[in-house]
Structure 1
């Protein structure tokens, strides 16, 4: 136990130090620079191999389930987990917790994917091309797992940013991320010096959030509405009930130095651009691929593919939305959850948890991420410093720095008792994090 605690604390210190040294955040549209609070800034505890804020504990409910992506929990405590790829022919696992462990009740669905969500008596789940739903009974159990209804079909999948994250609102609408099948809309994707495609035709069918009816069958693109555009790829998304608004976490672009070595050095490429939290309204444009958000200069920068040099203002006409908050680059935010429970201390109420899957492209700087952070909110907007909430998924500071994480957090869900659940898509681990005074 002492050795595990030592490793977990050292991992947190190393990661937090790297982030504090290399990056800052811009909270709110004013773009104010703000640093993170690490888990070691308050008394931390080690639990289930994780380093947590004081008073919290974690339990490993299940392991080796497969590539567990997003997760949702019913009011009765059934845990529905989406697998990236089917395991034994099943892409959705249903578990129930008993005495600190979660037993598999059943599995169904022969499709892989990311999104899963319970709403209004249905379980919604997405593949990389389609969205399905299953009717639930009064105990929120699937009535017939062999006959899902197809809600949306034929969404584009070109095997880059193909995950179709989903969320539903209270007005009967379904929102689907359709990620751009490109890094930066170059004429030749990820080729050194290749310039951007004029008008970026990718945006016609990808690079944004599409809105569909939650109860209409067999919808295609023509039935949906491009709710927001200019978003390279969104995996973490949630509906903020405090201000009745969609929030999303964008994966920022890659390879500034590799593609334009005359304009960016390796350190800049490792740290830029920010991973951004956006508050979305219908018709919003976040600016991809024409701009990116620089969290060090606290402004939108014109992308080099479209004539930028790392300094030019990317939005003199102010037609692109500002991020609600900005985080260090390349940490891959895969989960977003607004906390509405009563179990955690009051400061967490209506704030956002973000699961950072971890970087692969910060070399020659150390890799970073592989943790869950908390972003305080007030009146529906980010307010104050974000902090590392749960760390240690990677296994060690050395694993983090090398990008060899044992586990990588992906999905987040809130349970009926106010605990939160975290998936890991490397080893198929399900964590439950709880608070006790």
Structure 2
């Protein structure tokens, strides 16, 4: 199955987590053939996949330029570089040319208005791009934000930009549920949860102002335990995020929750955010079966009491403990029309669903209609793990993390375990 794809340098860039950079021109016509085994993935009929690159490092969020080059942000630097640039030198869909720069690890990656934005776990940088969307001076980035809190738990800083010159940064809570003693059975929640002063939310900064700190930014939304996947919905002109739900309901409060309940609750939630919104962490969690915001046991909940008022509802809810690390609103034309303006979500996979088998390690599609989630999500790309047995054990081959859209409408997926960059295409024939 071969697909002829025309790339136009005038198509918009859509970026998501990760970074990869290469430095040569791109021909107008590229012949892309899926791997014989579709890169090991299970996909809907009509779709194919290829391993565009392998062993690039622990690739977190990624972005693709209008020329088809890929930037990937590495969780840890590899060979001295924490940002990788990948280029298809011979127009076969494979990214053979690889260059790296930036001596810091991290997660965030985005392209907007002639700049490449990248984050460490404490800072956000930007790199000027030339007309071919190649970094002008890889050794001298401009530091945009500094001093973000990092307590070695939920420390990754994801980023996205709006259309009005603002950048949004996740600052994850350095806690599971704001207990007096974190992850200690029976320990109650801290009054007023002081963590929320500097973490557990989304902060808004200017995208072009150097050396900003907390005092220069605005706490845009609060009550978010940890957000890794986020994207700007161009149809709604609004920020959407995926929250990692809390852990260990049974381990911490066994008199209120069974082991089974703890393995499937709470939901992993998608939130559509506006300035000033409160998603409720640590005071509530969301039960996806009851469709209710439940009072957390650390704050007097017993698995039956509902939470206080003033907390927003999720836009959509997904099974618990799947770790959503990538979010992308699809705006391309290559895929069938039903995918347009819907959301792809990369679920990194669970570690704490026992006695249930571990789960996740896939990319799902959440349909949207009239700018809102519509209907049930569906698994779009599966078998990153390698087999059902590997999924169930959690000892998997690959973990999907970042998502990006190519200029031709291809979907790129990063793997932060073994460093594979996948490219998913649709055969219109």
Relative to the length of structure 1, the TM-score reads 0.89
Matches within 5 A, 1:25-424: 47-97=38-88, 98-315=91-308, 317=309, 319-424=310-415
Q: Deviations over 1:404-426 (max 9, x none)?
A: 11100000000000001000111
Q: Deviations over 1:358-382 (max 9, x none)?
A: 0000011100000000000112110
Could you say what secondary structure the match of 2:326 adopts? strand
In 2, the alpha carbon distance for the partners of 1:172 and 1:131 equals: 15
In structure 1, the residue matched to 2:5 is none
Could you say what secondary structure the match of 2:43 adopts? strand
In 2, the alpha carbon distance for the partners of 1:46 and 1:256 equals: 40
In 1, the alpha carbon distance for the partners of 2:95 and 2:80 equals: 20
58-67 or 203-212: which moved more? 58-67
Structure 1 residue 100, shift from structure 2 partner? 2.5
Structure 1 residue 46, shift from structure 2 partner? 5.8
Structure 1 residue 296, shift from structure 2 partner? 1.2
Structure 1 residue 66, shift from structure 2 partner? 1.2
Regions of 4+ moved over 3 Å: none
Contact persistence 1:243–1:379 (CA under 8 A): no
Structure 1 residue 249, shift from structure 2 partner? 0.1
Structure 1 residue 104, shift from structure 2 partner? 3.1
Q: Which structure: greater helix fraction?
A: 1
Could you say what secondary structure the match of 2:42 adopts? strand
Structure 1 residue 402, shift from structure 2 partner? 0.6
In 2, the alpha carbon distance for the partners of 1:240 and 1:54 equals: 27
Contact persistence 1:69–1:410 (CA under 8 A): yes
Q: Deviations over 1:227-265 (max 9, x none)?
A: 000000000000000010000000000000000011101
Contact persistence 1:135–1:143 (CA under 8 A): yes
For structure 1, the 5+ residue unaligned runs are 1-44
Q: Deviations over 1:96-115 (max 9, x none)?
A: 12313112341100000000
In 2, the alpha carbon distance for the partners of 1:136 and 1:373 equals: 32
Contact persistence 1:93–1:104 (CA under 8 A): no
Contact persistence 1:46–1:52 (CA under 8 A): no
In 2, the alpha carbon distance for the partners of 1:120 and 1:194 equals: 47
In 2, the alpha carbon distance for the partners of 1:122 and 1:379 equals: 31
Equivalent position to 1:428, from 411, 414, 419: 419
For structure 2, the 5+ residue unaligned runs are 1-35
Aligned length: 391
Q: Deviations over 1:203-249 (max 9, x none)?
A: 00000000000000000000000000000000000000001000000
Could you say what secondary structure the match of 2:192 adopts? coil
Contact persistence 1:114–1:165 (CA under 8 A): yes
In 1, the alpha carbon distance for the partners of 2:205 and 2:98 equals: 31
Could you say what secondary structure the match of 1:267 adopts? helix
Could you say what secondary structure the match of 2:298 adopts? helix
Could you say what secondary structure the match of 1:53 adopts? coil
Could you say what secondary structure the match of 1:174 adopts? strand
CA RMSD of aligned residues (A): 0.9
In structure 1, the residue matched to 2:9 is none
Could you say what secondary structure the match of 1:51 adopts? coil
Structure 1 residue 65, shift from structure 2 partner? 1.2
